[in-house]
Amino acid sequence: MTAHAQPRGHLELADTSGLLDRQHRVLELLAGGAERGEVLGAVTLALEELIPGSRCSVLVLDPTHGTLHHGAAPSLPAAYSAAIDGMPIGADAGSCGTAAYRDEAVIAVDIARDVRWDRFRTLALPHGLGSCWSSPIRGHDGVLGTFAVYHAEPHCPDERERRLVARFTDLAAVALEHDRLYGALAESEERFRRAFEDNAVGMALTDLGGRFLKVNEALAAMVGHPATELLVQDLDTLLRPEDRVGARLLLQRLAAGTVPAGPLEVELLGGDGQVVQAALTASVVGAGSSRYVSLNVVDVTARRAAQRDRIARREAELAARVAEDASRAKSELLSTLSHELRTPLQAIIGFSELLGTLDLPPTRQEAALGHIDAAARHVLDLVGDVLDLARLEARALPLAPATVDLAELVHEVLDLLEPVAAKRGIRLGTDLAPSGGPTACADPRRVRQVLINLVTNGVRHNHVDGWVQVTGEDQDDGAAVRVRDGGPGIPAGLTDRLFEPFAQLGGGEGDDSGGGTGLGLALVRGLVEAMEGTVTIDSAPDEGTTATVLLPRAEPAGLPERPAGVAAPAAPGVRSGRG
């Protein structure tokens, strides 16, 4: 019976014998360590011998970039192989690119008519390639490449050809997996060699008893002994007698499978007579009877010197930044203070010259004197606030703690500021009785100063004909006073500047913030925290602002006053506000 008369689905006896011979030849190449291209070439040539008229190729997949690259194609035109080298896989990437993309066999019976060859037809037809049947080469982790069988004329594979291609596709998979495995092993060995030999850290391999088996140049240079000399010694010869016990104990623990707690500090005896302080880090590599100790040896003397140098530089940089910040803050303070003082002083000088050079009617004289008085009081208030802030920062603000009736102080402050509020139509109110309200342990004078600042802010930053309400209560954690206004509130973009000195955060209808010094809330916070209290500001646009002061509660019998001149705790850095 001829080959053409052979029943479908079976291989001829000659096919079976030839297949086994060719498989054996490929496996011998693999066992002998032949290169990938030689093994894949043998696979393709073997199949071409069993399928007359065929030309075979193997393309290898680059999974990272999704491209196919030349593996073997001994009978295909070199120009065609070069043209398709690096082709991207896809749903219409010829037979090979589509097979790798879909992970299934793709048979293009007629390349001239197959739509999957539209982009590659002009490459194949001029080289006499009429059909292409490509099968994915599968490995453990997915597709490794493709095995292609070409014919010069349109061709559809029969069952015999399918079985042969399946066998040789498996052989190609074995070859690619073998190459990948041993390639990864060789790459790993090369990385280890480079990491060991080129490492700037001293490294060595020893047996479990500490005898050197391999030493890198960094360790040899560290101890001042040639590497060849170290290979006939053991670790003990490099250690001082008092360090040998610790090193032996380390090796014993490693041999027993115990992980060391940390580096072993030792002193190595250098070949030039010098002693090198070092830290040994050890681990066991290998398994069974082939276990070794991997040593990392670090010269900690140099590291400690570098650490000291870094710490010194860091401290110097920090000191320089602190000095720069202090200088900048001082310059900003002087600049702002100069501006704040210059305006009222110019008013004083101007009106003084006016009074001295012109014969003014009584009403004009009275007005000029009023301006001079107001400007002088502004300067006095500014100087007083600056001095208070300076004392707070220097922890030198004198306080006289006493039992303070907050309701009494609230009524006193509201009476004092009533004329100022009336000029703008602002209604001042409180729900506290004139006396008998919450009591706090604080300095009465400083509490009055805090309330004046907060109520003045509520008047100044308010709508015309607005209102300011002061409330208070005893709480578990202290005595609280709240100053709430119905003004426009603080814009969201300005809330980060609360309690910042000289920040005048105005805004809103009828705002009269230009009359302030910009120190009000900064001083409020400093004074409250000096009295061991807290102050918070809650505000939102169009919802008004509420300032809450919480002071320590007074004991029923009151507390002894702090002697005048005793410094209170310093207030922390200020954050910003509308003062």
Other CB atoms within a 10 A radius of the CB of residue 414 amount to: 18
CA distances from 487 to 125, 331, 463, 484 (A): 86, 34, 5, 9
Q: Is 554 exposed, middle or buried (0-12, 13-18, 19+ CB in 10 A)?
A: buried
Residues 504 and 516: beta-carbon distance below 8 Å: yes
Residue 441 CA to residue 568 CA, distance in Å, equals: 14
Question: Considering Cα of 567, then 573, then 578, then 579, what sign does the dihedral take?
Answer: positive
Sole residue written with tokens 């007629």? 110
Provide the token pair at 9. 């689905």
Q: What pLDDT is recorded for position 341?
A: 63
Nearest to 210 by CA among 264, 262, 261: 264
Taking only the tens of pLDDT, the chain with its 579 residues reads 333 444 434 555 455 666 777 778 888 887 777 888 888 999 899 889 889 999 999 999 999 999 999 999 999 999 999 999 999 999 999 999 999 999 999 999 999 999 999 999 999 999 999 999 999 999 888 999 999 999 999 999 999 899 889 988 988 888 888 877 776 666 666 676 776 777 778 888 888 888 888 888 888 888 888 888 888 888 888 888 888 888 888 888 888 877 776 788 888 887 777 788 888 888 887 777 778 888 888 888 777 777 778 888 888 888 888 777 666 756 666 665 665 566 667 667 777 776 777 777 888 777 777 777 766 766 666 666 666 666 666 676 778 889 999 999 899 889 888 888 888 899 999 998 888 888 999 988 888 888 988 998 889 888 888 999 999 999 888 999 999 998 888 876 666 566 665 555 554 444 544 444 556 677 788 888 888 999 988 888 888 899 999 999 887 544 444 443 444 433 333 323 333
DSSP single-letter state for residue 7: P
Q: What pLDDT is recorded for position 562?
A: 44
Q: What pLDDT is recorded for position 329?
A: 58
Q: Is 147 exposed, middle or buried (0-12, 13-18, 19+ CB in 10 A)?
A: buried
Residue 173 CA to residue 139 CA, distance in Å, equals: 6
DSSP single-letter state for residue 511: -
391: amino acid identity, one letter: R
Planar angle of CA 62, 67, 71, nearest 5 degrees: 65
The string over 213-247, giving b where at least 16 C-beta atoms fall within 10 Å of a residue's C-beta and e elsewhere, is: eebbebbbebbebeeeebeeeebeebbeeebbeeb
DSSP single-letter state for residue 503: -
| Domains defined for the chain, CATH in brackets | 3-189 (3.30.450.40), 202-303 (3.30.450.20), 305-393 (1.10.287.130), 402-551 (3.30.565.10)
Q: What pLDDT is recorded for position 548?
A: 92
Q: Which stretch of DSSP H or E encloses residue 319?
A: helix 300-357
Cα R_g (the chain), whole angstroms: 46
Q: What pLDDT is recorded for position 309?
A: 85
Alpha helices in 51-120 (DSSP H): 78-84, 94-102
Quick check: helix, strand or coil at residue 190?
A: helix
Q: What pLDDT is recorded for position 381?
A: 63
Q: What pLDDT is recorded for position 565?
A: 40
Quick check: helix, strand or coil at residue 362?
A: helix
